[in-house]
Amino acid sequence: ESKDLRETALGILNEKPAESETVKENGKGSGKKQKGAKKLSAREKKKLEEEALLPIIKALVNDMDDFGGGFHKPTWKDLLVVTVAKMPYNIGLSLLWNAKYYLRRLQKLELSDEEREVLTERAVGPVVWDTKSEEEREAMMKKELWIKENRVEWEEEQYVANLSAADQKYYAKLKKKGKAE
C-alpha cells in the first residue's frame, strides 16, 4: 500500500505545475542555459522531490481510515475504558465458542466452516488473516493450517514466495539436495 500511496502522491505532484516547474528550472528540465545558475545533482533533485512529496503523503495518510496490518485511526471504541467494559462479554463469547468446539470434538463430528475459519485465523494470526482476500482465506482453510505440519509447509511457501526469482531457484536447488531448512 505504501508504494501505491507514493505513486498517488507522485501523480498529484506531477499535476501541480508550479512545484514541478521549480524543479525543472533548477534541474535539466529547461533546455536553456542560464548564466550563474547551478545544476542540481541527482541527490539534490531527489531531496527536493521528497520535500515536495512529504506534505502530499501526509495529507493522503490523514485521509485514510484503515492502514492495513491491523492498524487504523483510533476511535472512541479503542479507549481503554470501553475495551475493559467489553472484556467480560468477549471472554464469555470465547468460552462459549471453545465449549461448543470441544463438545463437537468429543462427539467426533466434522469441523464446521466457522470452526475451520477460526482455527485458521488463530494459526496464521489476525494480521495475516486480515490482509488476505476471501479467495486466499478459502485456500488457507482448505490447506488445514491449524495442523502443525501443514502450517510449517505453508509458512515455507510464503517465505519462498517473498524471495527473488534467483533466490527461489537457489532455494529449490538446496531443497533438492536436502540442505535447505
Listed residue (21, 78, 77, 81) closest to 48, CA to CA: 21
Q: Is the pLDDT of residue 138 over 70?
A: yes
- Cβ neighbour number for residue 72 with a 10 Å cutoff: 12
Q: Please give the pLDDT value at position 19.
A: 45
Out of 52-61, 89-98, 119-128, 132-141, which region has the weakest mean confidence (pLDDT)?
A: 52-61
Q: Is the pLDDT of residue 112 over 80?
A: yes
- pLDDT tens digit sequence for 70-100: 667 788 888 899 999 999 999 999 999 999 9
Q: How far is CA 92 from CA 55, 78, 79, 159, in A?
A: 46, 20, 20, 37
- Mean per-residue pLDDT, 107-120: 93
Q: Please give the pLDDT value at position 83.
A: 92
- pLDDT tens digit sequence for 14-60: 887 654 455 545 554 444 555 555 777 888 888 888 888 888 888 87
Q: Please give the pLDDT value at position 110.
A: 93
Q: What is the mean pLDDT of the chain?
A: 82
